[in-house]
Chain A
Amino acid sequence: MDTYRCLNDTRKGLVETLIESWLFVAAMISAIAVGAILFFLIYFAWPIFHEDHLWKLLSWYWRPFQDQFGILPMVAGSVLLGISSMLLAYPMGIGVCCCVYGLGPRWLSGLTLMIVRIMTSVPTVVYGFVSVFLLVPFLREFFYHGSGFSWLAATLTLSLLVLPTVTLIVNAQFELFDPEIRLATTALGFSPIKQLIWVVIPASYKGLLAAAVLGFGRAVGDTIISLMVSGNSPQFPHSMLDSIRTLTAHVALVVSTEAGSMAYNSLFAAGIMLFGVSALVNGALRFIRAGSE
């Protein structure tokens, strides 16, 4: 009996060591990969930190044939699109979660969650495609303004893409809430809405923040939708019906069309900015998690 137990123990130890070393290797590989990406980005972008180059990049004009390589319109495009799609998707996602979490009828909540889960598995390009053929023509006819490829079209489409991210994170956080505490507050006479607003949501603020940060990261990081439906004019939009170009779409477009060295250099600047956004998102998530302890 004793030998058996002993044997069993060492085997378990071996498995554990294997898993641990495998995890360590995986972690090291990802860390090295991220480090290498950052290194090459900075290495290739180094020339642009030359003073006159930098000023060229920090301008509002992207006219590569006239030697103007400003990326500010794209920065503005990314930020504006990220914010506008979050302004739409975030309240919608929280609304869906509230509905799922007891405000709506039970059958509806199951159905909604199922639809949201399916939405995550639809390839992004499908959203773009559908949008180009349905939403864009509709906007064009409805507003009589431009081609329909616009900040508004990208916002509407992108918010659909971000909605599941927001919903699933917030819902997971809501589900962590102790059902016994819900029962206890119900017994005190709280209505479901009061319970949600005053008890569950305050206790879930971490998930709400994480959903906002991750959703924004996802919106800024998306390429296909902005490339397909935003119109891609490198300009600062004056209305939501104007066309915009995001940093990600910019990179995709320039890589596939240009080869001039200055144009490429500007891409590395764009890359560094996107990297910075994702670093900020990660930093913010860490900060949110640490906030609890």
Chain B
Amino acid sequence: MAFPSTSCSVFAQNLSVSFSARQVINNLSVEISSRNITVIVGRSGVGKSTFLRSLNRLNEEISGSRTEGTVKLSFKDGTVDIYRDRFPIEELRRRVGMVFQTPHPIPTSIGKNLSLPLKLVLNLPSRKIDDRIEKALTIVHLWSEVKNRLKEPALSLSGGQQQRLCLARTLALEPEILLLDEPTASLDFKASEKIEDLLSELKRDYTIISVSHSIGQARRIADNVLVMKEGSIIKVLAASQFQEKGTLEDLLNEVF
């Protein structure tokens, strides 16, 4: 099956995911365009995180999970049918970077949280690693806070700092598609604003799919909003449909 259109970078068809026979994603089909921010909204437990995990085959790491259907991702050098093609899974996961709902730094130093993936996943020579670390921490606005404490344990950071660290860790690997599960959940509004600005910048190079519980945030950053209910996407809204304040709330109230 050919990709529906060249501007589309994520294509899912009849996707179903279940955990121990309980169906969580239900015959979901969607097209997500590249170099855009797509925000997924929906009630708690509808399967937003599970859907994100189905795009980097991470549900397979959860015992009892079963995935059916088709997911195609288009990268710079071609399209991959991730559940059928024999594409190396580690490389797939590097290209589809994911930041979790709650930050999970590796229990080691702040610096190593960034240098280990660069060394082990990207095989970057050590002379290039320091530069890359500084760059990644700078774009998530964490560099000034941690530059003198890179040797300290990552767990000594605050929740919001850990979240930005995890975002930096993923960005440093230069993915092509970015999955963000509530990237600003534990940030204050100033820091959230900075991350929102960052995402709007990043969408020039990345396809960004972000889960958000904040309708305000969805309106500010989204090019498209996907509304999820009971494991399916029941509505797709384009930015032009909710530019006026209040319209997105009204649209969502109808379907929630």
Contact = CB atoms under 8 A, between A and B. Distances in A.
Interface of A: 178, 180-191, 194, 198-199, 202-203
A184 B117 contact: no
A interface: dominant SS: helix
A198 B116 CA distance: 8
B166 A184 contact: yes
Most buried by A among B56, B93, B173: B93
Contacts of A186: 58, 61, 93
3 shortest interchain CB distances as A-B pairs: A189-B94, A184-B104, A189-B121
Interface string B111-126: 0000011001100000
B100 A189 contact: no
Interface string B94-107: 10011010101111
A189 B107 contact: no
B169 A188 contact: yes
Contacts of A185: 106, 117
A202 B61 CA distance: 22
Most buried by A among B94, B98, B106, B107: B106
B61 A188 contact: no
A183 B58 contact: yes
Given A180-B104, A203-B107, A187 B116 contact: no
A114 B62 CA distance: 23
Contact of B170 (A188, A194, A203): A188
Nearest to A177: B107
A198 B107 CA distance: 11
A187 B56 CA distance: 7
A51 to B, nearest CB: 53
Given A188-B94, A189-B173, A203 B108 contact: yes
Contacts of B91: 189
25 contacts: A178-B104, A180-B102, A181-B104, A181-B105, A183-B58, A183-B61, A184-B100, A184-B104, A184-B106, A184-B166, A185-B106, A186-B61, A187-B97, A187-B100, A188-B93, A188-B94, A188-B97, A188-B170, A188-B173, A190-B120, A190-B121, A199-B106, A199-B108, A199-B116, A203-B106
Contacts of A180: 100, 102, 104
Nearest to B96: A187
Nearest to A202: B108
Contacts of B120: 190, 194, 198
A228 B102 CA distance: 57
A185 B108 CA distance: 13
B254 to A, nearest CB: 34
Nearest to B119: A198
B90 interface: yes
Interface string B73-109: 0000000000000000011011001101010111110
A188 B117 contact: yes
Contacts of A188: 93-94, 97, 117, 121, 169-170, 173
A61 B152 CA distance: 55
Contacts of A183: 58, 61-62, 100, 104
B73 to A, nearest CB: 15
A104 to B, nearest CB: 15
B169 to A, nearest CB: 7
A190 B170 CA distance: 12
Contacts of B117: 185, 188-190
B110 to A, nearest CB: 15
A198 B109 CA distance: 13
B108 A189 contact: no
Interface in B51-77: 56, 58, 61-62
Contacts of B116: 198-199
Interface in B161-191: 166, 169-170, 173
A198 B117 CA distance: 10
Interface in B211-228: none
B107 A181 contact: yes
A189 B93 contact: yes
Contacts of B102: 180
Contacts of A199: 106, 108, 116
